[in-house]
Structure 1
């Protein structure tokens, strides 16, 4: 049994397939497994809540895990140890989520491209057809993650409190979410995964896309992401497309294409759920 995992900070999708890519059980969903944020204890607890995973743990021969927070050595080693312990007979490979996005969005295995993730968090890398190049180490949701779900959540909350929202949008936002300051601060400073909490607010944008305020909010985030992340690959952008993965990117496709034309980068493919493109890649390369 091969387990292929695509994990953000909010949720993790697990696919179990055989060597030919046939599904062995329905997709399993757990909470997100970001080892840069969660403790070892929390990682264990989250996985062990899934009866399907635990009951099949000794059958697993390979685990290919792609996740937010796995781009640096210490968090990657932490999660690798947890997975090896839970799946004792498996070869375990843990990589950053950007690599999953690469395999899911490129049009052929040797295609060079700049590949961006916009989900709960955000990131951007250059794939030269063989090797993934990362020029900016992500410092996470507090300092970076432009155009991500948690970025837009922060912007919406700030605009609500600063009075920058149009009145009709403010009323709708306040009706959908608990905007009491004590409740917000409790979730940000007393609860685990504040980045995932913030990202929950981003759904509001896609329910209000007839608003000029919302469209400009989305575009401003994309412009900031392009300036800080995409244009780190200035020379490469002259010859390669920019692909996008993640739910925020998928639902912001029109705005991304408009900003791409405005700022001068070639927008390529979109993939909402990278995991769907990972099965053929791994079953062909065992």
Structure 2
């Protein structure tokens, strides 16, 4: 039995699989070592994973926040506590996106979910990457940044009255509540990303569509087009934002002379295909 994990800041998808084709899927909360300790991670995974299998041959983990060896070791140690000394290969979520969407072919691989990211993948390795910088300094086009911008437009009364009325009725927010949640509580990026759902529900409204178009354009121009081979290779995506706004996304790509590639809601099935072959 082997184990694959794909973890974002919001949730983690796990697949136990064997050569005969059998598989078992589990979902846990997001495991980002920037925001959670090894002990906290181990405690949750012990309850979620050990009832399924206590022994695995190999672990392939792809996750948000894996930016250096120190962060990778947090995950590796937590998994070793559960599964002994099974070889544990820890990669960034960007490598996961690249392998899921591109498999063994060269391409541009992007993440558009709670956060955002973009890289050039040569079919084996991530060769070039534009740093995402998180939702305060970057993460253009992500759910968190769209949510942040949407809240700003709501409270500053930039939002048109009809959209504002719908938004107000849906969420019933107060300024103090939002400020407390964003600046004083954990995982503000996840909280902000929840508001992007409103945009998908109202995507046929011209203002909402233009809002999404503007945010996705910022992602493409500040990230994808900064990669030297962007106009020569297909541009592939994984993530809920890319999936739900793919019609607008394809328009943005074409306006900038880029070739749309695969758009996957979740990378986990692509990763399963990659590791089975």
- Gaps in structure 2 of 5+ consecutive residues: none
Q: Give how far 1:247 is off.
A: 0.8
In 1, the alpha carbon distance for the partners of 2:81 and 2:136 equals 31
Structure 1 residue corresponding to 2:275, chosen from 265, 276, 282: 282
CA distance in 2, matches of 1:89, 1:78: 15
Shift of 1:263: 1.4
**Correspondence 1:1-286 to 2 at 5 A:** 1-23=1-23, 25=24, 27-50=25-48, 53-106=49-102, 109=104, 111-234=105-228, 236-284=229-277
Return the offset for 1:103. 1.9
Contact 1:20 1:283 in 2 (8 A): no
The alignment's C-alpha RMSD in Å is 1.7
Question: Could you tell me whether the CA contact under 8 Å between 2:6 and 2:13 is conserved in 1?
Answer: yes
Tell me, in whole angstroms, the C-alpha distance in 2 between the residues paired with 1:189 and 1:48: 31
What secondary structure is seen at the aligned counterpart in 2 of 1:156?
helix
Residue 267 of structure 1 aligns to a residue in which SS? strand
Gaps of 5+ in 1: none
Given that 1:58 and 1:88 are in contact with CA atoms closer than 8 Å, whether structure 2 keeps it comes out as no
Report runs of 4+ in structure 1 exceeding 6 Å deviation: none
TM-score (norm 1): 0.91
What is the DSSP-based 3-state SS (H/G/I as helix, E as strand, rest coil) of the residue aligned with 1:134? strand
What secondary structure does 1:142 align onto? helix
Hey, what's the Cα distance between the residues in 2 that align with 1:41 and 1:191?
20
CA contact (8 A) 2:39 2:78 kept: no
Per the normalisation by structure 2, the TM-score is 0.94
Say how many residue pairs are matched: 277
